[in-house]
Amino acid sequence: MAKKAAPQDAPSRPLTTGEVAKYCHVSHVAVWKWIKSGKLPAYRLPGGHYRIERGAFKEFLRKHGIPIDPKFFGRTRKRILVIDDDPPVLEVVSRAFEQFAQEVEVATASDGFEAGLQVATFQPDLLILDLMMPRLDGFAVCRLVRQDPRTAHVKILILTAYGSHENIQRALEAGADDFVHKPVDIATLQKKAFALLEGEQEEAQ
């Protein structure tokens, strides 16, 4: 099974507006306007300064056709956080990505509260998230991730054994990007996960 996430490394620290401006060869004012208009997700420190998560900045670059320099972002492997309260499911889903170890890194969480800690430390690019969990369910996790500017860019792939139209619609409205039914078909899971990681997912059906 995938190991718990290690504390975040230096290349994962948030960016200043000055660093973003220098990368894009624009002024601080231009970056400030991107933030104010909602084009570039950011959050404010108590002193009033803005910080931009690297994942959010990379998504901004991708959307606007600006070249992405891998050296700037510090890591080349994508990160997947699998969240499910069923240990066998965690095992199956984690193993589904073992053959892609050079491309992705996987961590796990067994409930929504643990997931919150892992999102902060592991800084995943993709959540593979069970909908029905005790205490904090997948719907709540989706909303929390989407409401935080530091994690709003993270892709979310729902796992559900309760795949009614109503549940799926609720998940999508809460912020999920796509879904996979349980029992999990590994080929479908891999295809949808990598499509989300590359920003090439089709409309959920």
In tens, the pLDDT along 123-156 reads: 899 999 999 888 888 999 999 999 998 899 999 9
Question: Which CATH number covers residue 130?
Answer: 3.40.50.2300
pLDDT of residue 112: 85
Task: Give the CATH number, domain containing residue 49.
Answer: 1.10.1660.10
| One domain, residues 89 and 169 | yes
User: Do 160 and 93 share a structural domain?
Assistant: yes
**Is the per-residue pLDDT at 10 higher than 60?**
no
Cα distances from 161 to residues 19, 41, 112, 130, in angstroms, run: 44, 33, 17, 9
How would residue 4 be classed by pLDDT, with cut points 50, 70 and 90? Answer: very low
Given this model, what pLDDT does residue 75 score?
Answer: 67
Q: Residue 25 — pLDDT band, cuts 50, 70, 90?
A: very high
In a domain, 28, yes or no: yes
Q: What is the mean pLDDT of residues 21-39?
A: 95
176, pLDDT greater than 80? yes
Residue at 6 is within a domain: no
Q: For the chain, what is the mean pLDDT?
A: 86
Between 134 and 201, name the one with better pLDDT. Answer: 134
Is the confidence at residue 160, as pLDDT, over 70? yes
* 77-92 average pLDDT score: 93
Q: Is the pTM of this model over 0.75?
A: no
Range of the domain at 18: 12-73
Residue 205 in this model has a pLDDT that exceeds 50: no
Q: How many domains does the chain contain in total?
A: 2
Work out the percent of the chain whose per-residue pLDDT is above 70: 89
Mean pLDDT of 182-191: 93
Whether 202 is covered by a domain: the verdict is no
Is 154:83 a contact under the CB 8 Å cutoff?
A: no
The per-residue pLDDT for 38 is: 93
Query: End of a domain among 44, 73, 102?
Result: 73
Residue 205 belongs to a domain: no
Greatest pairwise CA separation for the chain in angstroms: 51
Share above pLDDT 90 across residues of the chain, in percent, rounded to a whole number: 57
User: Are residues 149 and 175 located together in one domain of the fold?
Assistant: yes
- Predicted pLDDT of residue 11: 54
Q: pLDDT band for position 19 (50/70/90)?
A: very high
Q: Mark whether 69 and 93 lie in a shared domain.
A: no
| Residue finishing a domain among 73, 108, 126 | 73
Which of 73, 94, 123 corresponds to the end of one domain? 73
> 3-class secondary structure for the chain?
CCCCCCCCCHHHCCEEHHHHHHHHCCCHHHHHHHHHHCCCCCEECCCCCEEECHHHHHHHHHHCCCCCCHHHHCCCCEEEEEECCCHHHHHHHHHCCHHHCCCEEEEEECCHHHHHHHHHHHCCCEEEEECCCCCCCHHHHHHHHHHCCCCCCCEEEEEECCCCHHHHHHHHHHCCCEEEECCCCHHHHHHHHHHHHCCCCCCCC
Q: Are 69 and 132 within one domain? A: no
- Would 144 be classed as within a structural domain? yes
> Which pLDDT band, with edges at 50, 70 and 90, does 163 fall under?
low
